Structure 1
Amino acid sequence: ESLNKLMKNLYSTHPHFVRCIIPNEFKQPGEVDAHLVLHQLQCNGVLEGIRICRKGFPNRLVHSEFKQ
């Protein structure tokens, strides 16, 4: 029952998350350190979120909804 209440609560909300990723240690424009970016994505849980979505729990917005 508590899981159902939690899921109902989650479905009634519209959370959005913004993750800032540093492209390189020197903050130089146009340079991307792939290992640094990957490490940040792993630590922030972004990659795990992508894996979960691929397993059948997608959450997609059309561009016009995203803009709002």
Structure 2
Amino acid sequence: MTRPTVSHTMSCAMQAVIWQPFTEDRGSEPALLVQCDATGLLMITQEGRDILIQPETLPELIKQLRRLTQ
């Protein structure tokens, strides 16, 4: 059964689950939970580990992620 890459858990809580697909090179990695906390910080969670990101740094983070994957 295939699942969508992104699924929204509870729209009122501003959360989304990003499923990472199985690939021949890398295998399977756990899903990412992306949400916004009460202070407005973006939080990415994977297997109990959290990364907090200020919304102001998001454009630069996206830019660097794109650069690193090219």
- Identify the TM-score tier after normalising by the shorter chain: under 0.3
| Largest Rg, 1 or 2 | 1
Answer 1 or 2: which has greater helix percent: 1
Answer 1 or 2: which has greater strand percent: 2
- The TM-score with structure 1 as length reference comes to 0.27
